[in-house]
Amino acid sequence: MKKILIVEDDESIADSLKEMLENRDYIVEVSYSKKETLEKLNEYIDLILLDIQLPDGNGISLCKEIKEKYEMPIIFLSCLNDEETIVRGLNEGGDDYVCKPFGIKELCARIECNLRKVTKQQGVYYIDDLIIDTLKHKVFKDNKELELSTITFALLRALVEGHGRVLTRDYLLMLIEDITGHVVEDNTLTAHLKRLRQTLGEYQNRKYIETLRGVGYRWKI
Amino acid sequence: MENIKKEKNNHVCLIISIVLMIVVEIYSFLVSNIFNVFIITSILFYFLEQKNKKKQMNYLIQCCDAIIEQKDFSIIDGESKESLLSNKLFLLNKRYHQSLKAIKKEQLKLKDYIEDISHQLKTPITSIRIQTELLLEENQNEKLYAIEHQIQRIQLLVNDLQTIALLNSHNIQYCFKEYDLEMLIDEIEEDLDYLNPQIHLNKNIKLLCDEKWFIEALENIIKNCLEKNSTPLSIFVYENETTLKMIIQDQGNGFKEKDLPFLFQRFYRGENSKGTGLGLYIAKEIIEAHHGFIKAYNQQGACFEIVLPQMKMKKKI
């Protein structure tokens, strides 16, 4: 059973989230402030739901502090739809985010996504109906090989390795620049993603990759 | 001795008489041509005046430019009328910029209030939403479904109101860049996937706009069409040197005549409309912030026509 830490200063929200998660067989701890959070981290935690606005500090800097010592995924609960704040949070180590007000289904989907570890055997990822061989740079869908360029393969790999984690535009642009060796335009990223999507097609009528406008992309499991 | 004196006298007389003749000539010339002289001197004065006026005008234009670009300009010293004008302009400039500063301050305050209010609202809404969903898991009560539905409405309203307040506070830092219209439409199709959009674009063009806001405007318009009747949409683009025209047309029954004058008004919802009534209003505000305008009419279906200036031509926005 997975243990989740909820860091949220509004008691009403924190308590209802606790009930909701316990109904789904998670073990839940709650902390209402930055100080309490650091104390709770002495025990093992699988995932943290972190409110960006805390009474005694900023959620983003707390996230950075936590990620210096621990590796568990952190999902921001954000009241602001402000992309700047969200991107900043993600760049400081956050894995995912949900905007308030959110529903139970949405939050639970994000939690499951971020807790799921993608199976990797000797450099090969198995996910949905895809087989991604990072050593041979090949991708198979339904056992048929797909044609991908170096850049689109790198993007696919990054997204799959993130398994639900949000990859910011800046991060992906840097990835492309590392391959091409020169500065790349914003539009180029969008173009490559489009090509990747076209090549991958759909899985059970759903798209593999989700666009978060102004923020980035994530693998939609 | 007397001869030399006489000669000298003669010389003097000659000179005097020549001078007198010249004077008389000039005098009679002047008298007979006094009209012409008058005209010539008037013309001379006129040209001098014009040159002076031009100089003053240039100075005034310089002052106006400085005021518009928020720079300082020098005052003309002295006691002349120009000096007085110059001093007054300087004071005017100072007052104008003070009031601009005050307005900006108020707008920033307003933006802060809006952020505070929406933050305050979102927290209880989140709480109510989760608790309602939890209750529904235990007990599928009709009244609970009704509450859930109303919460969703409030949520949409709060989001839309936040957008409008932000737009009206004129505090948005638009980031204009070039985008392919095709790509913008791809993103909209992805967002509106649940409505099964079929959008056909006649020509891909490069468009200078703020991606986030422009997509929101187009999306609201397209959503409006698709929610009324799920027909394929055509987007026709026409370009010329100065303008860019976009016509979004569906194949439905078009707008009701009585709705047409009020389509873009705040909270105006047609019959059977599920939305907040703010989508088209927001779209219009955004298009106007892009220095364009939008109108709607019926032509083999509902049509939205957006006209935007070719921003590549403008130097200052």
| Residue span of the structural domain in which A25 resides | 3-115
Of the partner residues B130, B162, B211, the one whose CB lies closest to the CB of residue A104: B130
- CA-nearest of A63, A17, A60 to A38 is A63
**In chain B, % of residues over pLDDT 90:** 32
Enter the tokens of residue B95: 């007052």
Could you tell me if A107 and A129 lie in one domain?
no
Give the other-Cβ count within 10 Å of B207's Cβ: 24
B212/A213 CB distance under 8 A: yes
Per-residue DSSP letter, A182? S
B125/A103 CB distance under 8 A: no
> How far apart are the C-alpha atoms of B280 and B248, rounded to whole Å?
13
Instruction: Spell out which residues of chain A touch residue B148, defining contact as CB-CB under 8 Å.
Output: none
Of the partner residues B122, B131, B133, the one whose CB lies closest to the CB of residue A100: B122
User: Rounded to 10 degrees, what is the CA torsion of B48, B54, B55, B60?
Assistant: 150
Could you tell me if A12 and A109 lie in one domain?
yes
Enter the tokens of residue A102: 């959110």
Chain A closest CA to B108's CA: distance in Å? 16
pLDDT at B136: 92
CATH number at residue A142: 1.10.10.10
A102/B126 CB distance under 8 A: yes
Chain A closest CA to B178's CA: distance in Å? 9
A12/B124 CB distance under 8 A: yes
Of the partner residues A20, A23, A101, the one whose CB lies closest to the CB of residue B122: A101
pLDDT at B201: 92
Superfamily of domain B176-309: Histidine kinase-like ATPase, C-terminal domain (3.30.565.10)
Task: Domain count for chain A, please give it.
Answer: 2
A205 and chain B in contact, CB less than 8 A: no
Of the partner residues B115, B126, B178, the one whose CB lies closest to the CB of residue A101: B126
Could you tell me if A139 and A169 lie in one domain?
yes
Say whether pLDDT at B9 is over 90: no
pLDDT bracket for residue B317 (50, 70, 90) = very low
pLDDT in tens, A16-27: 999 999 999 999
Q: Nearest chain B Cα to A103, which residue?
A: B130
Which chain B residues have any C-beta within 8 angstroms of a chain A C-beta?
115, 118-119, 122-127, 129-131, 133-134, 137, 151, 155, 159, 162, 177-180, 183, 186-187, 190, 193, 211-212, 215
B119/A53 CB distance under 8 A: yes
pLDDT in tens, B95-109: 988 998 898 888 888
pLDDT in tens, B229-245: 888 999 999 998 889 99
User: What stretches of chain B show up as alpha helix (H) in DSSP?
Assistant: 2-32, 34-68, 81-138, 142-168, 181-191, 211-228, 279-289
- Cis omega (within 30 of 0) on the bond before A101? yes
Could you tell me if A92 and A104 lie in one domain?
yes
ipTM of the complex: 0.83
B126/A211 CB distance under 8 A: no
CATH number at residue A62: 3.40.50.2300
Chain A closest CA to B85's CA: distance in Å? 48
pLDDT at B264: 93
Most confidently modeled range among A8-12, B8-12, B114-118, B313-317: A8-12
Could you tell me if A171 and A196 lie in one domain?
yes
Enter the tokens of residue B287: 């298009």
> How far apart are the C-alpha atoms of B278 and B109, rounded to whole Å?
24
Instruction: Spell out which residues of chain B touch residue A190, defining contact as CB-CB under 8 Å.
Output: 183
Q: Which residues pair with B307 in a beta bridge?
A: B245, B293
**Mutation site, A11, A12, A210, interface B, largest B CB count within 10 A:** A12
B159/A211 CB distance under 8 A: no
> How far apart are the C-alpha atoms of A132 and B62, rounded to whole Å?
67
Taking the domains of chain B in order of start, what are their residue ranges?
2-96, 113-168, 176-309
Q: Nearest chain A Cα to B129, which residue?
A: A103
Enter the tokens of residue A111: 């939690």
Could you tell me if A38 and A81 lie in one domain?
yes
Could you tell me if A34 and A104 lie in one domain?
yes
Could you tell me if A11 and A98 lie in one domain?
yes
A100/B124 CB distance under 8 A: no
pLDDT in tens, B271-301: 777 778 899 999 999 999 999 999 999 998 9
Chain B closest CA to A128's CA: distance in Å? 21
Could you tell me if A10 and A104 lie in one domain?
yes
A53/B159 CB distance under 8 A: no
Q: Which helix (H) or strand (E) holds A49?
A: strand A47-51
Could you tell me if A35 and A100 lie in one domain?
yes
pLDDT at B248: 94
Q: Nearest chain A Cα to B215, which residue?
A: A213
Q: Nearest chain B Cα to A83, which residue?
A: B212
pLDDT in tens, B42-65: 999 999 998 888 888 888 888 888
pLDDT in tens, B171-196: 788 888 888 899 899 889 888 888 88
- Out of A102-111, B147-156, B304-313, least confident range: B304-313
Q: Do residues A7 and A31 make contact, with C-beta atoms less than 8 angstroms apart? A: yes
> How far apart are the C-alpha atoms of B8 and B308, rounded to whole Å?
95
Of the partner residues B115, B127, B159, the one whose CB lies closest to the CB of residue A12: B127
Q: What is the mean pLDDT of chain B?
A: 86
* pTM, full prediction: 0.74
pLDDT at B6: 73
* Strand-by-strand arrangement of the A130-133 sheet: A119-121, A124-127, A130-133, A138-141, A144-146
Enter the tokens of residue A173: 């642009």
Could you tell me if A80 and A108 lie in one domain?
yes
pLDDT at B60: 82
Chain A closest CA to B131's CA: distance in Å? 6
Enter the tokens of residue B172: 């948005």
A207 and chain B in contact, CB less than 8 A: yes
pLDDT at A210: 87
A185 and chain B in contact, CB less than 8 A: no
pLDDT in tens, B114-128: 777 877 898 899 999
Q: Provide the residue-wise pLDDT of chain A in tens; the chain has 221 residues.
A: 899 999 998 899 999 999 999 999 999 999 998 888 888 998 899 999 999 888 777 889 999 999 999 989 999 998 877 788 899 999 999 999 998 888 898 899 999 988 887 778 888 888 878 889 988 888 998 888 988 899 999 999 999 888 778 999 999 999 999 988 888 888 888 889 888 988 888 887 778 888 888 889 998 86
A80/B177 CB distance under 8 A: no
Of the partner residues B133, B179, B190, the one whose CB lies closest to the CB of residue A104: B133
